[in-house]
Amino acid sequence: MLAFPYAMEKAGWALGGAMAIGGAMLFCFTLNVVGQASDRAFELASVGMAVVTEGSYQEVTGAVLGKAAGKAMTWMLTIYLTCSNVAFLVIMSDQAQPVLIDRLGPDSVWTKKTVLVPIFAWGIGFPLSMIRNIELFSIPSTVSQFGIFYSVAIVAYYGFKNVAANEDNPGYGSLVPYKFELDAVTAIPLICFSYQCHVTFPLVYASMRGKSLGRMKIVNLVCIVGCMTIYLVIGAGGYVMLGGATPDDILKGICGSTGYFNKSAASGDGCCMVRNGSNGTGGNDYLRDDPSHDPCSSRVEDSVAIARLCVLIKVACSFGMITFVARSCIQSIVMPEGKKFSKKQKFGVNVVYVGFCMVVAMFCPGLADALSFAGVLVVVIDLIFPGLMMYKLNYRSSSRGAATRRFVAVVIVILGIVIGGISLFVTVQQIVDQIGGPPSGAGNHSANPNITALLLPPSASSASGSASASASASPTLVSSFA
């Protein structure tokens, strides 16, 4: 979510908006396909032709496409989810660190990443990972929605409150409707990541009270449209505010009611600048928002600190939910078919898994590159596999409608291959550029634009207008857009 203004800056406001709308339509469609495949999987299980214990994505894939496809999905999900959880811990630390440094000073032990990551892993992530029923995530997920709305409102407020004055910001340049260049390609996987909720969808659907695909389609539509609206608002607000200086995390760009981000500053993380209108220059000169005029230090405004806290809470909920799904994948790998972990085994797996994620988050220097490669798996999970399942579900039917659906399925698979190939190419190109490397201390904000979208999944309001059965699933599903 916080990277959507960056996508707008890379692709242009019109092309970026079109991508957001097109992505919403495509991913809403493939979610419905996964729902149909889930129903088919349970039908096959009821007659002994498949083994379905929890209704997870890997079980659904195995039931519809065969055991080999199910195992491939299990391994892909395990890798992807683990990378995601490592990144969630890093992002929780990153959201808290600037606020703590501002309040406690840079020398405080409580501002160190090696202290913050274990606190978030065991104090927040582990308790949430012990929730036994994914339906229970609807409680913290619903609470976290309000924080996301607040964060979006903060960005929109600073972006639109004085549009004309925004053009005076350093590095602003101009707002362009579209960009047809290699750099614009980075917006494609970013937007794909933003609509990712296929991983948890089957489990949410299977746990739904009064399970009904028709109701779930309504939930899907409401959630996708809600998320798309949030993306467009925060994307436009952030891009209008900072223009060509938009960073990959828009909260970096707001240091207070008059503070703006300077991406070209001396530090690798940039600086916050403040408009100074008291010296007769009409407010067009910029000074560091710090009494000491330290080249790259600034105070974190209270409103932005609250927004960071909201993001932290949202990511913590995602960590717990993703761990729930990752444990299901590990269960499929290590346990005999149809068998589940006992309570003690679940506890032990959670301890080892959370501990592993914590250690990697604390010390792994190559996390960003690993996550970029893992991002290619998202396209396979969200587009290629649903396309294959759609084809298989309509394979034996001779009706005209089935023929049309098979054609659409082939198009989705081809589209997934193309997007996956582009994502892989861009990732490799970025790594090659990093090997050449910017000058020491110059920083590189655009090195991994995919990461923030993956690590900071969006949220939208729950489908409160749906039936009560749908309402219990909606906030959980929305929170899983990762």
Mean pLDDT to the nearest integer, 211-227: 89
Given a cut of 80, whether residue 225 has pLDDT beyond it is yes
Radius of gyration of the chain (CA): 23
Supply the CATH classification number for the domain 4-479: 1.10.4160
Return d(Cα 224, Cα 321) in angstroms, integer.
Answer: 19
Is residue 246 within 8 Å of residue 5, measured between CB atoms?
Answer: yes
SS3 content of the chain, % helix, strand, coil (to 5): 70, 0, 30
What tens digit of pLDDT does each residue of 230-261 get?
999 999 988 888 888 787 777 766 653 334 44
Distance of CA 334 to the CA centre of its chain: 28
Alpha-carbon distance of 42 to 39, in angstroms, equals 5
In Å, how far from its chain's centre is CA 137?
Answer: 17
Confidence label for 35 from pLDDT (cuts 50, 70 and 90) = very high
Q: Which range is least confidently modeled, 207-216, 297-306, 319-328? A: 297-306
CA dist., res. 203 & res. 329, Å (int): 12
Q: Are 354 and 119 in contact (CB under 8 A)?
A: no
Burial of 137 (0-12, 13-18, 19+ CB in 10 A): buried
> Could you tell me how far CA 451 lies from the centroid of its own chain?
8
What are the residue boundaries of the structural domains of the chain, listed by start? 4-479
Sign for the CA dihedral angle at 369, 376, 317, 322 comes to negative
- Which residue would you say has higher pLDDT here, 27 or 308? 27
Alpha helices for 201-301 (secondary structure H): 201-206, 213-242
Task: Please indicate whether residue 115 or residue 97 has the higher confidence score (pLDDT).
Answer: 115
pLDDT over 60 at 482, yes or no = no
- The sheet carrying 286-288 orders its strands as 259-262, 271-275, 286-288
- Of 56-70, 174-188, 192-206, which has the strongest mean pLDDT? 56-70
Residue for token digits 């600073």? 158
User: Each residue of 43-55: pLDDT tens digit?
Assistant: 999 888 888 888 8
pTM above threshold 0.85: no
Give, for 288, the enclosing helix (H) or strand (E): strand 286-288
- CA distance linking residue 201 with residue 35, whole number of Å: 8
Q: What is the mean pLDDT of the chain?
A: 75
* Rounded distance between C-alpha atoms, residue 330 and residue 415, angstroms: 30
Q: Which residue has the tokens 């242009």?
A: 12
Retrieve residue 183's tokens: 């750099």
* Of 121-135, 211-225, 298-312, 320-334, minimum mean pLDDT range: 298-312
333 with 78: CB under 8 angstroms?
yes
pLDDT at 320: 85
